[in-house]
Structures are given as C-alpha cells and as structure tokens.
Amino acid sequence: MKTKHLIMGLIIFVLLIVVSFFIINSFYAPLQTIPVNFDFTLKEKGIGFNTDVDSLHFGELCLGCSGIKTIHLYNHNNFSEEVYFKVIFDQVPSNPLKISPQYWFYFPPQVSLLPYENRSIEIKLIPYLFDINKTSLNISSIYGNYSGRIIVSLFKVKSS
C-alpha cells in the first residue's frame, strides 16, 4: 500500500514539474531572439554613409554626430507580443573617461505589438562624451571601429 502511495506521489510530483515548466516557458521565455549586427567608425571629424541593408551599418561618425537606422517589426501571430532590445559590443576601444558606449544608442526599451501589427522603430546612435571641453585627457583613444549586436527579443504577452 505504501508503494502505491509513493508511486502516485512521484507521478503527481513529475506532472507538477512538467506543467510548471510549460507555464514558465510559454510566458517567460522569449518566442524568438534575433541578433542584429551593427558597426560604425568613430572619427575626430567627418561623416560617412553606408546604405547596405544586410546589417545596421552606421558608417563614419564623429563625437556629437548622429546616425539613424530603421528596423521593421512584424507580429504575424494572433496574440500580442512585447519586444525588448539589448546592445552588446564585440570589443570597445580603450576609453579614458570610462563612458559605456551602450548609452550612445537610443531606442524604446520596450515595444508592444498587437496581433498582426507592423511597426517601424528608429535606432539612433549619438556618440558623446561628458564635458569634452573641460577635460585634459587624451580622447583620441576612443576613436576607432566599433561593432556588435542589438539583441531583439520577442515575448508573448499574457492575455488578461
């Protein structure tokens, strides 16, 4: 009799784990994660253009200049989605002022898409330094090539 209760308890425990895993996966794990490559060159002067569409090529930028690219989001599902963005750099040149280049990107932290909705999002890149005229540090070390990925994560919205 004790073994039957033990077996029933183990079966119920395993079923609870499977159901919990399904619930967590369906609501908290991303439906899709898309890495979108980007690159740009930070120079002292000048500006350049790169209109290739295979990646987010911002071209050549100087401090205080801006580059803008548009990405298109499509929700092909019959449920709402939330979209989150995260910037990851491959390698960052040495930075005497310890300013993180992640803060050079401007885009909505979260975008909500209704079922079958299409939306365009602007991603702005504005490299800057704080108090550049008041510093005696050599800022030429931040000039160079930058590359990385913007991670686009799509999540299913819980229905209320």
What pLDDT does 131 receive?
52
Measure Cα distances from 127 to 81, 93, 114 in Å: 31, 13, 33
Instruction: Give, for 41, the enclosing helix (H) or strand (E).
Output: strand 32-43
CATH 2.60.40 fits 31-156, yes or no: yes
10-residue mean pLDDT series, the chain (160 residues): 80 84 68 89 76 77 85 91 90 61 83 94 82 57 85 83
Sheet of 118-125: strands edge to edge? 67-74, 118-125, 105-106
What pLDDT does 114 receive?
94
User: Is the separation of the CB atoms in 85 and 35 below 8 Å?
Assistant: no
Q: How far apart are CA 108 and CA 113, in angstroms?
A: 13
Strand partners, 68: 124
What pLDDT does 126 receive?
84
What pLDDT does 93 receive?
62
